[in-house]
C-alpha cells in the first residue's frame, strides 16, 4: 500500500486535534480534491493566455497586451464577460443531453488531474491502474461530444459530433498502445512508479535523466501525435473546421455552457502534454531530485517546466500545420500509426526477452524505434507525393491530362 504522502501531514494534524481518523482522512481528501479541481479551473485561464500569446507570436501578431502585464488578465476579463452573458437555449434542444454535456466534458477533463504526479509524493492518488484510468476517462469526453451534438438539434453540431467521435476513437488506439510500450518496459501501470522508473542512478546519485523518450522516440512521437488528435488541435481540428462546420459540436452553446467546453478543451490539452512529460520525459525527474529537502521542490519545478514546454510545442504545431482532411485523418491513424506502434510493441516484447544485458536490450529498442520513425516518414512521403500529384491533375485542363510529366516538380506544391 503506497500511501500518498501529502495527505499524511493533514491527517496527522487533524487527528492531533482529536478528530477520528476516518473523518480526518475525509477532510484531507476533500481539501486535496478541492485544490486539484480549482487548480484545473484556474490554470485554464493561464493556458488560454499562453495559447493566444504563442499563436499570435507565430503569426507575427502581438496577441493580448492591454490588460495587466503582457495582457495576463485578458482571460480573466474574458471569463467575467462569459459569466455575465445570456445563456441561450435553442428551442428544440433536448434538455437532458444538452445540459449534461458541458458538465460531463469538464468532469472528464478535471478528473484526469487526480492521477497526475506533480512531485515526489505529491499525486492525488497513485492508482495501480492509473494509466487505464486516464484512458477510461477519455470515454466520458466522447459521450459528452455525442450528447452535445445530438442534444442541440443542429445539423452542424450533429455532424461535428460524429466527426469528433470518429477521430477520438481512431486516435485512442495508437495512444493506448504507445502507453503500453512504457508499461511493458516498467511493468507497472501507476504513474508514480512509472516516473520513479525513469531515474538514472550513477554512483549512488540520482541524475534523473533516464527518460523513456530518449530510448523510445517513436513511441513518444506517436503519443504526441495522437494527443494532438485527442485534444482536437489544429492538424486534427476538422471537428471545428470553421469553413465547414461553423464551430463544432458546441455551436449552440453560449455563455457559461460554452465556457465549460472551452475550459475542458484547454485542461485536456494541458493534461495530455503533462502525460507526455510523465510517460516519456521523466515527469518530475531531473538532476538533483534525490536531494533531501530541495529535491521535491526541484521535482515540482521540473514537472511544470516540462509539461508547459510540451504544451507550447503543441501550440507550435497548431500554429504551423494546415488542417488535414477526414480521409487523411483516418488514413494516418489506422494505416500509419497503428501498424507502426503494433510493430514496435512486438519488437520491444521480443527484445526484452533476449538473453542480453540491459544496455544492449535498450539499444535494440532504440534501433527499433528509429526504424519505426524512418518507416513512417517514408510512408508519409510517398503518400504526400501521390496526393500532390493527384491535386495537380485535378486542376489541370482535361485536354492536357496524361501529357503532364511524372511529378518531378512536386515540391512546388
Q: Which of residues 137-166 bind other proteins (CB under 8 A)?
A: 138-140, 142-143, 146-147, 150, 153-156, 158-159, 162, 165-166
Q: How far is the CB of 318 from other proteins (least distance, A)?
A: 23
Phi, psi of 117 (to 5 degrees): -80, 115
Q: How far is the CB of 171 from other proteins (least distance, A)?
A: 10
Q: Which stretch binds other proteins (CB under 8 A): 228-236, 295-303, 309-317, 349-357?
A: 349-357
Report residue 278 as a C-alpha cell: 510523465
Residue 63 or 151: the one with the smaller Cβ distance to other proteins is 151
Residue 270 or 302: the one with the smaller Cβ distance to other proteins is 270
Phi, psi of 202 (to 5 degrees): -120, 120
Among 252, 265, 279, 307, binds other proteins (CB under 8 A): 252
Residue 99 or 199: the one with the smaller Cβ distance to other proteins is 99
Residues 19-78 that bind other proteins (CB under 8 A): 22, 25-26, 29-30, 32-34, 36-38, 41
Q: How far is the CB of 5 from other proteins (least distance, A)?
A: 13
Residue 125 or 289: the one with the smaller Cβ distance to other proteins is 125
CA angle, corner 50, sides to 48 and 51, nearest 5? 65
Rounded-to-integer distance, Cα 202 and Cα 213, Å:
19
Residue 92 or 378: the one with the smaller Cβ distance to other proteins is 92
Contact between 229 and other proteins by CB under 8 A: the answer reads no
CB 341 within 8 A of CB 222: yes
Residues 268-327 that bind other proteins (CB under 8 A): 326-327
Number of residues that bind other proteins (CB under 8 A): 102
Nearest 10 degrees: Cα torsion 257, 263, 266, 268: -90
CB 296 within 8 A of CB 120: yes
Phi, psi of 123 (to 5 degrees): -145, 135
Report residue 17 as a C-alpha cell: 486535534
Rounded-to-integer distance, Cα 134 and Cα 152, Å:
28
Q: How far is the CB of 111 from other proteins (least distance, A)?
A: 6
Contact between 245 and other proteins by CB under 8 A: the answer reads no
Rounded-to-integer distance, Cα 137 and Cα 266, Å:
16
Residue 26 or 287: the one with the smaller Cβ distance to other proteins is 26
Contact between 133 and other proteins by CB under 8 A: the answer reads yes
Closest Cα to residue 279, out of 153, 148, 180?
A: 180
Contact between 94 and other proteins by CB under 8 A: the answer reads yes
Helix (H) or strand (E) holding 305: helix 294-320
Contact between 265 and other proteins by CB under 8 A: the answer reads no
Among 111, 220, 298, 344, binds other proteins (CB under 8 A): 111
CA torsion through residues 285, 290, 291, 292, sign: positive
Q: Which residue has the cell 445570456?
A: 86
Contact between 173 and other proteins by CB under 8 A: the answer reads yes
Amino acid at each position: 500500500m503506497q500511501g500518498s504522502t501529502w495527505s499524511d501531514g493533514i491527517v496527522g494534524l487533524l487527528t492531533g486535534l482529536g478528530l477520528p481518523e476516518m473523518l480526518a482522512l475525509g477532510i484531507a481528501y476533500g481539501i486535496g480534491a478541492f485544490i486539484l479541481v480549482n487548480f484545473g479551473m484556474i490554470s485554464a485561464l493561464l493556458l488560454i493566455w499562453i495559447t493566444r500569446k504563442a499563436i499570435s507570436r507565430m503569426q507575427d501578431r502581438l496577441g493580448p497586451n492591454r490588460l495587466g502585464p503582457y495582457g495576463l488578465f485578458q482571460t480573466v476579463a474574458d471569463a467575467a464577460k462569459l459569466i455575465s452573458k445570456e445563456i441561450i437555449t435553442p428551442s428544440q434542444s433536448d434538455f437532458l443531453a444538452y445540459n449534461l454535456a458541458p458538465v460531463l466534458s469538464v468532469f472528464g477533463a478535471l478528473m484526469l488531474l487526480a492521477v497526475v504526479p506533480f512531485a515526489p509524493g505529491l499525486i492525488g492518488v497513485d492508482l495501480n491502474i492509473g494509466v487505464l484510468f486516464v484512458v477510461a476517462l477519455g470515454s466520458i469526453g466522447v459521450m459528452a461530444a455525442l450528447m452535445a451534438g445530438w442534444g442541440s438539434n443542429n445539423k452542424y453540431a450533429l455532424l461535428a459530433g460524429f466527426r469528433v467521435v470518429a477521430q477520438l476513437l481512431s486516435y485512442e488506439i495508437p495512444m493506448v498502445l504507445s502507453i503500453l510500450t512504457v508499461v511493458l518496459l516498467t511493468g507497472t501501470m501507476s504513474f508514480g512508479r512509472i516516473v520513479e522508473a525513469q531515474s538514472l542512478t550513477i554512483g549512488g546519485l540520482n541524475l534523473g535523466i533516464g527518460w523513456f523518450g530518449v530510448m523510445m522516440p517513436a513511441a513518444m512521437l506517436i503519443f504526441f501525435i495522437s494527443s494532438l488528435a485527442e485534444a482536437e488541435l489544429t492538424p486534427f481540428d476538422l471537428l471545428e473546421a470553421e469553413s465547414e462546420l461553423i464551430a463544432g459540436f458546441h455551436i449552440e452553446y453560449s455563455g457559461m455552457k460554452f465556457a465549460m467546453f472551452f475550459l475542458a478543451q484547454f485542461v485536456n490539452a494541458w493534461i495530455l502534454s503533462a502525460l507526455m512529460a510523465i510517460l516519456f520525459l521523466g515527469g518530475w525527474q531531473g538532476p538533483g531530485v534525490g536531494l533531501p529537502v530541495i529535491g521535491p521542490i526541484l521535482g515540482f519545478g521540473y514537472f511544470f517546466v516540462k509539461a508547459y514546454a510540451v504544451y507550447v510545442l503543441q501550440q507550435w504545431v497548431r500554429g504551423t500545420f494546415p488542417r488535414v482532411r477526414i480521409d487523411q485523418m483516418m488514413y494516418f491513424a489506422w494505416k500509419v500509426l497503428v501498424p507502426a506502434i503494433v510493430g514496435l510493441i512486438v519488437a520491444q516484447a521480443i527484445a526484452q526477452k533476449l538473453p542480453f544485458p540491459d544496455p544492449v536490450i535498450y539499444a535494440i529498442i532504440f534501433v527499433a524505434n528509429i526504424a519505426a520513425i524512418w518507416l513512417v516518414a517514408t510512408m508519409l512521403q510517398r503518400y504526400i507525393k501521390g496526393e500532390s500529384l493527384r491535386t495537380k491533375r485535378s486542376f489541370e485542363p482535361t485536354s492536357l491530362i496524361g501529357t503532364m510529366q511524372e511529378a518531378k516538380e512536386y515540391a512546388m506544391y
